[in-house]
Structure 1
Amino acid sequence: MLTRLRAKRDNLHLGLMLALTFSTGVVDAVGYLGLDKVFAGNMTGNVVILGMALAGADDLPWVGPLLALFAFMLGAVIGGRVLRPVKAGWATRTTWLFAVVGAVLAGLAIALFVMNGKPPQPWELIITVFLATAMGLQAATARHIAVKDVTTVVVTSTITGFAADSRLAGGKGQPWFRRAAAIVLIAAGAGVGALLLMLHIGWGVAVAALITLIAALLGHIAAHVKHTPAPASAPAPAETAA
């Protein structure tokens, strides 16, 4: 099994990044619906909300989106700094960073369960900061693994490529599966997150933590298992001259 994982490492990386895309949808649903209209992973959404809030539209919040934006950038800076010395792909540092993201999410889930509902201020903002920092760290780590079209946190560029490279646009072919899967999975994650929020705000974060930790484990195993090549067959004996 381990050898198969290593042999199909690119497919495994794609699957793991798609799983993290799903978990980001879950986290963003928790942030937007449970933490006062704040995205933890989709910074485009936060920038738009922030712009409308500063214009005074519909009494939108601006503190949460602003904190989330800077916290996400902080997480991305940490990820970029840690991974700078190693080549692109999965490495031990990659595993540790994903593990840190999973651990932070698990800790936040526990805190939300302890609070038994929507966290009061200032805890709501503190949880928002930690969620966004974790998502920034995840995004930077996923960027280092470099699975094309799958950033785990946004799908705008993926949707653009899916449409621009389609046959309707005159394209002759594209990696449609990974693009379609990323779009569908982040939406599915948001739907699951919204449903879990009806049970408790902590469940969505707990599910995202579990997915992230499993992804870190599988990626680490596939990257570090040693592949033993099949022994070369012995050369056929030379024919004896008559």
Structure 2
Amino acid sequence: MEQQVQSDVRAGRSLRIAVVLLVAASGAVESVSFLRLDRVFAGVMTSNLALLGMAVGRGEAVDVTAAVLALSGFGVGTAVVAWCTRGSAAPTSHWPRHVMFFLGAEAALLAAGALAWGLTGGTPGETARDVMQFGAALAMGVQAACMVAAGRAAAPTTYLTGTLAAYIVKGIGTGRPGVWVPLRFVGLIAGAAVSAALLKEARAWAALPSVILILCAIATACLPLAAARRRNTVAPS
């Protein structure tokens, strides 16, 4: 029993670390999306809706297009994952295999974008920027839907407004605020800062940190999944 409890504690810690890494990855994506694509966010749709309204009000067709691309990409990514994972049970000890599959697909999508970004020296043309904007939002939609499909073993990684509000409310109400939520905020800032710094000093590499962070998150999240498989294969005597 004690060994089982220790195993569950390790699994929970691994998943929390994976969430922090995914948050950092989303911060890195947002830096490139907002600073060097079309000044919209890849995963924060509340802001994009506001930006769309401002663009419509000011009659700026380019900004309208950018916001629509981001909203469309995010919606498509979310819908695809939701369709493929509907009705699936979400264990609390690990992320399901279909979640891991789609996170891998997200990493592949961002890797393709990072390659294209690097080949253009970090200065893609207008059409390429539109494609990359849609792709970045698509990847963030996939990630957001994966965290929903993972259930209680995961947490939001592409938007943290509600997370911040809940943390403040619960912290004041219970007096026992946890450490993992602040680590998500730190991860978001760190991921955004790294890509922003690369945009300034080595623009061609700015899209790479998000790929590395997601791969690290997948590897970390695989640890409790592997442990669960080992437990299932060892029959009780």
User: TM tier, shorter chain?
Assistant: 0.7 to 0.9
The alignment status of 1:161 with 2:163, answered yes or no, reads no
Q: Distance in 2 between matches of 1:181 and 1:166?
A: 15
Partner residue, 2:184 = 182
Q: Distance in 1 between matches of 2:12 and 2:204?
A: 33
Q: Secondary structure at the match of 1:55?
A: helix
Give the alignment of 1:76-115 within 5 angstroms: 76-89=78-91, 90-115=95-120
* Deviation of the 1:219 alpha carbon: 1.8
> CA-to-partner distance for each residue in 1:75-128, whole Å, 9 max, x for gaps?
001111122242114122111111100011111101011111221111100011
- Greater Rg by CA: 1
Q: Secondary structure at the match of 1:198?
A: helix
> CA-to-partner distance for each residue in 1:48-81, whole Å, 9 max, x for gaps?
1111111108887121111111110110011111
Q: Secondary structure at the match of 1:166?
A: helix
Q: Distance in 1 between matches of 2:62 and 2:155?
A: 30
Alignment partner of 1:73 out of 72, 75, 83? 75
Q: Distance in 1 between matches of 2:59 and 2:167?
A: 33
Q: Secondary structure at the match of 2:159?
A: coil
Q: Distance in 1 between matches of 2:135 and 2:221?
A: 24
* Deviation of the 1:223 alpha carbon: 0.6
Length-normalised TM-score, structure 1: 0.84
User: Per residue, is there more helix in 1 or in 2?
Assistant: 2
Percent sequence identity over aligned pairs: 26
5+ residue gaps in structure 1? 233-242
Length-normalised TM-score, structure 2: 0.86
Partner residue, 1:49 = 51
5+ residue gaps in structure 2? none
Query: Are the counterparts in 2 of residues 139 and 153 from structure 1 also a CA contact under 8 Å?
Result: yes
Letter in 1 for 2:161: T
* Deviation of the 1:220 alpha carbon: 2.6
Change (3 A) 1:70 1:138: same
> CA-to-partner distance for each residue in 1:206-233, whole Å, 9 max, x for gaps?
111111122223323421330388x99x
Partner residue, 1:198 = 200
* Deviation of the 1:138 alpha carbon: 0.7
Q: Distance in 1 between matches of 2:185 and 2:155?
A: 9
Change (3 A) 1:114 1:60: closer
